[in-house]
Amino acid sequence: MKFKPASLFACGLLLSLSSAVWAQFAVEDAEWKESEVPPPPAFDVGKLVIFEVSPNSSLVYGVDPASISISKSDGVVRYVMVASSASGARNVMYEGLRCSTGEFKTYARYSPEGRWSMVSDPEWRPLFGNMPSKHALRFAQAGACDNAALPLSVNALVRRLKNPNFGMTP
């Protein structure tokens, strides 16, 4: 996918603005408690919505829309993320995203043998900082979060992933 210099500048500006908005709203709620995490959902690599993480990445990232859930009780977007290489190798992760704090968590990883392996003691990690997760950050910016808020619905999230300009004013 090729981008014009003006669109790259605009994307960079939007990404930096999103970072500032997240930082502004990333005040930890001392009363917050994560709901019980559902088991990893089924996913279909044939139905992935692909999105670009980095123009220089050798991996292609995608999310099966059927795996996405938005928990209003704890404000977490949960999904199955698939990273595929040109050789066909895949990394599959079941993750959660807290839009209000700009954090993500990996709950489980899918093995080549077709089984989920739960992460022991998963922890929330920042989307920004020294070792950010580029795929989780890009997923949040591409539609999984509406700045620091949850998306209105899974359908709205998927529409934004499929059309990065959805909902943006000219």
Helices (H), the chain: 5-25, 134-139, 154-162
Please say if the pLDDT value at position 18 is more than 60: no
Query: What is the number of domains present in the chain?
Result: 1
- Residue range 117-167, pLDDT digits in tens: 999 999 999 998 766 688 999 999 999 998 899 999 999 999 998 886 644
Please say if the pLDDT value at position 21 is more than 90: no
> Has residue 42 been placed in a domain?
yes
Q: Please report the pLDDT score of residue 125 as a whole number.
A: 93
Nearest to residue 121, comparing CAs of 133, 105, 98, 110? 105
The domain that holds 101 is classified in CATH as 2.40.128
> Has residue 7 been placed in a domain?
no
> Has residue 1 been placed in a domain?
no
Contacts of 33 (CB under 8 A, 6+ apart): 74
Q: What is the mean pLDDT of residues 80-92?
A: 93
> Has residue 76 been placed in a domain?
yes
What residues make up the domain containing 59?
A: 30-162
pLDDT band at 94 (very low <50, low <70, confident <90, very high): very high
- Residue range 32-83, pLDDT digits in tens: 999 999 999 999 999 999 988 888 888 999 999 999 999 999 999 999 999 9
